[in-house]
């Protein structure tokens, strides 16, 4: 049955037959280290300490499971409608501002990708989406209202316990 559903969904949602996989901390670090410099926002390189914070977030948010899906109900102010965000994949990227929950990517999202594409075991699109977010952080390419919303989203999703993580500590077990 699942195979049948997936055959149907594959054209619509990019459904993957793969169950997803669990990646290791050190392999994920390697994926980032192997990215060509041109992938990075201009004039920036990923520092090992930033990478430690980012991968620490992955560990706490998805436990390195590429198919993790979770719900988040952000606290709201009185006058706002109740919201529920869904967080997808290794980096727990949100259907709020980041990926599109419909069948086709939407141009108003930071990443030109459907959320369902973020839960398969191909992590290249997840990584390039994270790089898009990093670019937004760096060049702030947002109108004021969305900028505020963007930072709220980043704050709610990113794990605060990881703020003090350093490469020396976090990657001590990794050989390179």
Ligand X SMILES: *[C@@H]1O[C@H](CO)[C@@H](O)[C@H](O)[C@H]1NC(C)=O
- Give the C-alpha separation, 31 to 98, whole Å: 21
The secondary structure element, H or E, covering residue 72 is strand 69-72
Give Cα separations from 44 to 26, 87, 131 (angstroms): 22, 27, 11
For ligand X, the closer CB: 30 or 128 = 128
The partner residues of 114 in beta bridges, in order of sequence, read 100
For residue 13, the minimal CB distance to ligand X (Å) is 13
- Give the C-alpha separation, 62 to 138, whole Å: 25
For residue 134, the minimal CB distance to ligand X (Å) is 17
For ligand X, the closer CB: 69 or 72 = 69
For residue 79, the minimal CB distance to ligand X (Å) is 31
For residue 21, the minimal CB distance to ligand X (Å) is 8
For residue 78, the minimal CB distance to ligand X (Å) is 29
**Nearest CA among 23, 7, 101, 32 for reference residue 66:** 23
For ligand X, the closer CB: 43 or 160 = 160
List residues near ligand X by CB under 6 A: 20, 22, 65, 67-69, 105, 112, 160-161, 163-164
For ligand X, the closer CB: 120 or 153 = 120
How many CA within 13 A on the CB side of residue 169? 10
For ligand X, the closer CB: 51 or 92 = 92
- Give the C-alpha separation, 144 to 37, whole Å: 30
């Amino acid at each position: 049955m699942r195979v049948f559903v997936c055959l149907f969904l594959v054209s619509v949602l990019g459904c993957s037959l793969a169950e997803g996989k669990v990646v290791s901390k050190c392999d994920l670090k390697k994926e980032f280290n192997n990215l060509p410099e041109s992938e990075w926002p201009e004039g920036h390189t990923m520092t090992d300490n930033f990478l430690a914070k980012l991968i620490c977030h992955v560990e706490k948010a998805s436990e390195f499971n590429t198919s993790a899906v979770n719900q988040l109900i952000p606290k709201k102010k009185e006058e706002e409608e109740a919201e529920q965000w869904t967080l997808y994949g290794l980096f727990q990227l949100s259907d709020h501002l980041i990926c599109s929950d419909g069948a086709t990517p939407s141009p108003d999202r930071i990443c030109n990708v459907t959320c369902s594409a973020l839960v398969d075991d191909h992590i290249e699109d997840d990584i390039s989406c994270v790089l898009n977010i990093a670019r937004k952080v760096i060049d702030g390419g947002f109108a004021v209202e969305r900028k505020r919303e963007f930072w709220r989203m980043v704050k709610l999703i990113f794990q605060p316990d990881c703020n003090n993580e350093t490469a020396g500590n976090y990657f001590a077990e990794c050989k390179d």
